[in-house]
Amino acid sequence: MNTIQTKQRVEYQDIRAIYTSGCKQKSDFKIGLEYERLPVSFTSNLAVDYYSKFGICNFLRTFAKYENWDYITDDFNIIGLKQGHDTITLEPGCQIELSIEPQKTIHDLEQKVDALNKALTPILEKTGIRLLNYGVSPVSTHKNIKLIPKKRYELMAKYLWGILSDVMMRETAGIQGTFDFSSEEDAMRKLKISNMLSPFITAMFANSPIRGGVDTGYKSFRALSWLNTDNERCGFCNKLQDDFSFDDYISYVMETPVIFINRENGPININGKINFKEFMISGYDGYDATLEDYLLQANLCFPDVRLRNFVELRNHDCGSKQTPYAILAIYKGVLHNSSAMSEIEELFKDARFSDFSELRYNVPKSALNAKFCRHFVKDYAKEILYIAEKSLIEQNCGDEKYLDYIKEYTLYNLTPADIIIKNWYGLWNKNIDKLIQFVS
């Protein structure tokens, strides 16, 4: 990220510069990917812990040794690895996240992920770990998954007040994509359209019905957990208004309660006693707000679509190896083509913010069969796919091939979760081993 760094008391113009620095020429647009997966034991299918002989810490040590990656640490504990601009990091419950340096094409991202997976495989086998392409822990629940030793996660776990916040932190795995913008107007248009698309894409890629060895009754239990994490910092960051601006997004971040700030001697727990705007004006316990504090605050806001010096799309279940590229292809088809964005705007011209808000709460259970206005999500999903595919063909980039995977589901009114549920009660006879093999 091209962000300004300073240790001085932050001024508003410094914060605004974070977002304006993201404006790029269209020829310089790139796409980023963050890809989380669930590590489980080959022998027990239980979630892998951090400390044991065959735990995640030893896996990271071994991979760093053989592949020459550098440690990322928190108070001397290894919490990830880095090589250049690529990272392998840990989510709170030991979920492994690959964060790939943004690339010009989806194909380039795929090549980098494939190369990294090829390097990971022998180390995973050596340490007895299997990575699951699935949205929620299929066997272990949060009560049996300890947080990794990262101070930030301890403070978050104590603060987040939703009834499923522990599920979100310790059990779930998702896929996130990032897209560039050319101007403030372009950023706001992409933010609005991405918010409109988000519940539909969540529905199309729903892939977390089985949790703790049982059918939850939801097609995306991961999406349900985000609905019950912290309403002050999750969901939509705006009401899809046309006049939304960088300043409005900054105001959203500033009005969110502060969980903690970092200083040289460690984190200072604020525990929501003030919001960031109050912190900027009056300070807290002798501490002034810095730009690093704002960046942390913005990172601790979790809307479905988040604004940085790029637009970040967050609300998708982890799925099969084709899933990340299919998700990116849909968004690229829409967001890299002004005509396609206009078609999406036309598709939803009669929908109100309340319709999208209600849809977010219906999608985790019903996915494509949820109702939106007077139609079903599955009908809109097909139209979204058509718009994206037509746009990708016009872009002459070849990325329309990545839509083939999801077309095999959506065009037949199915999600990955539907196939899992059918097999769960059919061929698998509720055998969790079969599910594990299917999503490995």
CATH architecture of the domain 12-439 equals 2-Layer Sandwich (3.30)
Q: How many CB atoms lie within 10 A of CB 355?
A: 16
C-alpha to C-alpha distance for 201 and 199, rounded to whole angstroms = 6
37 burial class (0-12, 13-18, 19+ CB within 10 angstroms)?
A: buried
Please give the pLDDT value at position 1: 37
Instruction: Please give the mean pLDDT across all residues of the chain.
Output: 96
pLDDT for the residue numbered 168: 98
What pTM was computed for the model?
0.96
Supply the pLDDT for residue 2: 35
Spatial neighbors of 302 by CB under 8 A, at least 6 apart, are 226, 229, 230, 233, 234, 314
Identify the pLDDT of residue 7.
67
| Nearest by Cα to 284 from 273, 295, 298 | 273
Confidence (pLDDT) at 3? 39
Q: Which of the residues in the chain have pLDDT under 70?
A: 1-7
Looking at residue 157, its pLDDT comes to: 97
